[in-house]
Amino acid sequence: MFHQTDVRTLLPGMLPFPTDVFVDDQPWLAAHLLPLLSIDLGVLRPELAGTVATMLCPIEPYEGCIGDETTEHHNAFTGSNWIAFELTGDNRMRFLGNAGYFIGDQVDDTDAVEHIAEMRESYAKAHAYFQAHGRLASYSRYGDGEPGEQAYLDTLGGQISGGNWTETAEIPPAFEISLDPSMYDRDRPEDAENVRITRDGKPFFAVAEVAGYNWCAAGADAIVMLYEPDSRTVLFSYDWT
């Protein structure tokens, strides 16, 4: 099983700040999600070579979890702290939820408006730094205003990790999750499965994790990205440690 941590060198099939990520009939996604890194899944499973999914960082929320304020727009594929996409045949991301799931610029809160602007600005600065230097640097709100070089990913491949993201909010109905109660037992085998997530009985596998603030001003402590090959579903959740 391929497993790498602190990924600071781009592997074949990885592209930071990709464009043309979203399907044409959902152009509004670009207002809510920042494309961080496209990943050819063949690096994890050779049979998936040419299947390219994109790590996405939501611009919201300012507080709480994404989707907390828009429960009336949740569906079988989205909920608080969970969003899902279908990966099309040409490797573009189709959101499986409703447009109303995202608050975006309609938010009525001065601090949240400033947060949205800061996320976009810091992402643009990080993109410019990459173009100039060929490395990733974050303009985190927790820093001194200067760019701090970061890993592209904190984890690539491996087992689906345990974390509070598995229990922060109920998983949407299209998916099932089971947790090994002994996942934090020091005596467990290293290759034991901590978390199992399925769609129609077919298991997801771990693609990658990264802190939102590796790329942007702020964000989750871990954006968790999973993939199920048969349905070509990309599933995201967020760990707030």
Task: For residue range 196-209, list pLDDT tens digits in order.
Answer: 999 999 999 999 99
Percent over 90 (pLDDT), the chain = 81
pLDDT of residue 186: 58
Could you tell me the pLDDT band of residue 98, with boundaries at 50, 70 and 90? Answer: very high
- Name the strand (E) or helix (H) holding 38: strand 33-40
Kindly tell me the burial class for residue 53, based on how many C-beta atoms sit within 10 Å of its own C-beta (0-12, 13-18, 19 or more).
Answer: buried
pLDDT of residue 105: 72
Model confidence pTM above 0.85: yes
Task: Using the predicted structure, report yes or no on whether residue 149 has a pLDDT greater than 80.
Answer: yes
When pLDDT is cut at 50, 70 and 90, the band that residue 182 belongs to is low
Say what the pLDDT of residue 64 is. Answer: 86
* Nearest alpha carbon to residue 235 among 181, 176, 152: 176
C-alpha 191/C-alpha 204 separation (Å) is 16
DSSP 116: H
Please give the residue that has the higher pLDDT: either 141 or 90. Answer: 90
42 pairs with which residues across the strands? Answer: none
Would you state the pLDDT for residue 104?
78
Among candidates 226, 222, 225, 227, which has minimal Cα distance to 238? Answer: 222
